[in-house]
């Protein structure tokens, strides 16, 4: 259920997720996956601002951001497939590739969570969808990101 708590939890989770700055990676594979994550993070930041009521609720805009997150989530398997983990700026743990199937499951979870937001039509629905999205980020980052 949508509660004020859900929103606050989501804001906390996302606050950590999006605070990572774009780093100066050199490896093109690492750059590409960081760029996709950065796009996702940027959309989440804008959605969080809307959840908090700092910007007016706009269903069409929110749906577009969720749609972009779903599209980026669909690219995760391809973007992470090359096991590029020598770049010092990489924050991906080697477990990504040793537990590849589980990583893919978590990427699919992100896509599903984003798709669930692609039809939000009220602030309440937005808050609920953001809760699910936050869980999806956390489920992967807590295991596979340094």
* Contact residues: ligand HEC, CB under 6 A: 14, 17-18, 20, 22-23, 30, 33-34, 37-38, 40-41, 44, 69, 76, 90-92, 96, 103, 106-107, 110, 133, 136-137, 140-141, 144-145
Nearer residue to ligand HEC within complex by CB, 82 or 123 = 82
Q: Are 70 and 122 in contact (CB under 8 A)?
A: no
Nearer residue to ligand HEC within complex by CB, 59 or 112 = 112
Whole-Å CA distances, 99 to 26, 28, 79, 146: 25, 23, 16, 15
Nearer residue to ligand HEC within complex by CB, 55 or 85 = 85
- Cβ neighbours for 126, distance < 8 A, ≥ 6 positions apart: 47, 50, 51, 57, 62, 117, 120
Min. distance of Cβ 24 from ligand HEC in angstroms? 10
Q: Are 25 and 89 in contact (CB under 8 A)?
A: yes
Half-sphere exposure of 68 (CA within 13 A, CB side): 16
Nearer residue to ligand HEC within complex by CB, 90 or 128 = 90
Min. distance of Cβ 90 from ligand HEC in angstroms? 4
Min. distance of Cβ 10 from ligand HEC in angstroms? 10
């Amino acid at each position: 259920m949508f509660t004020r708590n859900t929103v606050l939890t989501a804001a906390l989770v996302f606050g950590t997720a999006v605070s990572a700055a774009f780093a100066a990676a050199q490896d093109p594979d690492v750059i590409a996956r960081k760029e996709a994550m950065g796009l996702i993070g940027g959309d989440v930041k804008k959605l969080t601002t809307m959840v908090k009521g700092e910007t007016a609720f706009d269903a069409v805009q929110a749906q577009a951001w969720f749609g972009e997150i779903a599209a980026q989530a669909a690219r995760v398997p391809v973007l992470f497939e090359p096991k590029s983990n020598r770049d010092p700026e990489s924050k991906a743990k080697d477990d990504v590739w040793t537990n590849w199937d589980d990583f893919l499951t978590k990427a699919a979870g992100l896509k599903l969570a984003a798709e669930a937001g692609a039809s939000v039509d009220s602030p309440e629905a937005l808050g609920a969808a953001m809760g699910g999205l936050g869980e999806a980020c956390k489920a992967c980052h807590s295991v596979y990101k340094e």
